[in-house]
């Protein structure tokens, strides 16, 4: 049964119904094309047994979701698919995150699926084709039409059967704890506060800057982030990446020079913005080496660089053998972090250390070697 919930009283009844539920499926619909923070439009919830499942479509434009924190803070397991953005939405709407999260996309990676979409996973596991929806639908417009409601309900309708199937599969394979650990790490990342002084790390071209240009980029990107939060608009509306890098490379000496920077127009320089940007440039130029927030160095020792390629090939083969998504086993960054000896390298802790980390260390220390097995594969052998 699917119900439409658009009053606070009705939502309170849903929250009370979920109080003792061990597992609840959840999805959200939101927009953020013209805002910094996601504009939440709809929350889809599913609960109950396989024979008596209930779905609630909660109108987030009329309902305050704060009391849903009671469910998130409880022992209830919240099931979502590809939960990264939903986590951000929940944190802003409820000021908390689930105590227990099960991400079906992450879990599926340990069951032989490679980053599957919800539709791919539902069809692969349950043999059901999800209805196609309008990817560009306006979820904030009311009323939602019947197709939108059906599409929204379908996004959670199969989460609980998927959860049960994945738990059984991963229990059988001895990998459930691995998936649960990954979901916990996802929650930990979602709760981290992003430092505006590190915002320039996300500007691809800024990574190539040197000297004083780094300080200007750091100051501008930090100011841009804070301004975007204050005014709730995308950072590109405050200052485009192209203009930020251009200013950092060749800081303008006057407002007139600033207006000639590629990527800037009157939208970015209206009012006191041009003066504010010039002041931020001066602040960036004054930053000392100790003031700079430099991203982690991705380089490894020259003698170990060939090992990155070698280990990557072995991990690719191992992922096929274990039927685990390669990106879950280890990314190139994970390998480099291990070879650099980073304190918090993912391959040094938990299940990854057992499955991969120790063998990689043996390999790069010369205590093991890789050879062809005669069948197109690689074999790790003691030396």
pLDDT in tens, 275-305: 999 999 999 999 999 999 998 766 777 778 8
pLDDT tens digits along 251-266: 999 999 999 999 999 9
Q: Are residues 165 and 204 in the same domain?
A: no
C-alpha to C-alpha distance for 338 and 154, rounded to whole angstroms: 42
Number of domains present in the structure of the chain: 3
Tell me if 223 is assigned to some domain.
yes
Collapsing DSSP to helix, strand or coil, 282 comes out as helix
Q: What range does the domain containing 337 cover?
A: 302-382
- Mean pLDDT value of segment 156-180: 97
pLDDT category at 90 given cuts 50, 70, 90 is very high
pLDDT category at 37 given cuts 50, 70, 90 is very high
Taking alpha carbons only, the member of 88, 94, 98, 95 closest to residue 38 is 88
Only one residue has tokens 């190539």, namely 208
Q: Are residues 57 and 167 in the same domain?
A: yes
Last residue of a domain, one of 176, 191, 206: 191
- Per-residue model confidence (pLDDT) at position 298: 63
Q: Are residues 86 and 156 in the same domain?
A: yes
Q: Are residues 137 and 214 in the same domain?
A: no
Q: Are residues 187 and 211 in the same domain?
A: no
Check whether 50 has a pLDDT greater than 90.
no
Q: Are residues 363 and 266 in the same domain?
A: no
Tell me if 297 is assigned to some domain.
no
pLDDT tens digits along 354-382: 999 999 889 888 898 888 877 777 888 88
C-alpha to C-alpha distance for 5 and 56, rounded to whole angstroms: 7
Q: How far is CA 164 from CA 25, 158, 180, in A?
A: 12, 10, 14
Last residue of a domain, one of 171, 191, 211: 191
Q: Are residues 35 and 184 in the same domain?
A: yes
């Amino acid at each position: 049964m699917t119900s439409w919930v658009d009053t606070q009283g009705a939502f309170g009844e849903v929250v009370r119904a979920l109080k003792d539920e061990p597992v609840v499926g959840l999805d959200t619909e939101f927009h953020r094309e013209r805002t910094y923070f996601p504009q939440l439009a709809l929350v889809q919830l599913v609960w109950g047994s396989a024979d008596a499942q209930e779905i609630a479509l909660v109108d987030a434009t009329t309902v305050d979701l704060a009391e849903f924190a009671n469910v998130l803070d409880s022992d209830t397991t919240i099931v979502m698919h590809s939960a990264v953005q939903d986590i951000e939405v929940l944190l802003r709407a409820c000021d908390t995150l689930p105590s227990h999260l099960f991400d079906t996309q992450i879990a599926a990676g340990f069951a032989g699926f490679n980053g599957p979409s919800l539709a791919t996973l539902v069809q692969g596991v349950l043999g059901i084709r999800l209805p196609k929806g309008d990817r560009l639908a306006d979820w904030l417009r009311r009323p939602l039409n019947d197709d939108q409601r059906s599409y929204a309900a379908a996004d959670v309708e199969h989460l609980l059967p998927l959860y049960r199937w994945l738990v059984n599969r991963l229990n059988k394979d001895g990998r459930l704890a691995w998936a649960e650990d990954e979901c916990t790490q996802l929650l930990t990342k979602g709760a981290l506060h992003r430092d505006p002084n590190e915002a320039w790390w996300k500007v691809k071209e800024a990574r190539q800057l040197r000297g004083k240009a780094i300080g200007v980029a750091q100051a501008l990107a930090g100011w841009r982030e804070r301004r975007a939060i204050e005014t709730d608009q995308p950072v590109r509306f405050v200052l485009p990446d192209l203009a930020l890098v251009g200013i950092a490379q060749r800081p303008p000496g006057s407002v007139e020079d600033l207006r000639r920077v590629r990527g800037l127009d009157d939208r970015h320089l209206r009012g006191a913005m041009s003066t504010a940007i010039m002041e931020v440039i001066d602040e960036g130029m004054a930053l000392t080496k100790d003031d700079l927030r430099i991203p982690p160095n991705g380089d490894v020792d020259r003698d170990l660089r060939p090992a990155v390629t070698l280990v990557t090939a072995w991990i690719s083969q191992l992922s096929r053998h274990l039927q685990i998504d390669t990106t879950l086993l280890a990314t190139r960054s994970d390998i480099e972090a291990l070879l650099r000896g980073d304190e918090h390298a993912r391959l040094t802790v938990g299940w990854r250390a057992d499955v991969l980390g120790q063998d990689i260390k043996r390999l790069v220390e010369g205590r093991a070697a890789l050879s062809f097995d005669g069948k197109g594969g690689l074999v790790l052998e003691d030396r």
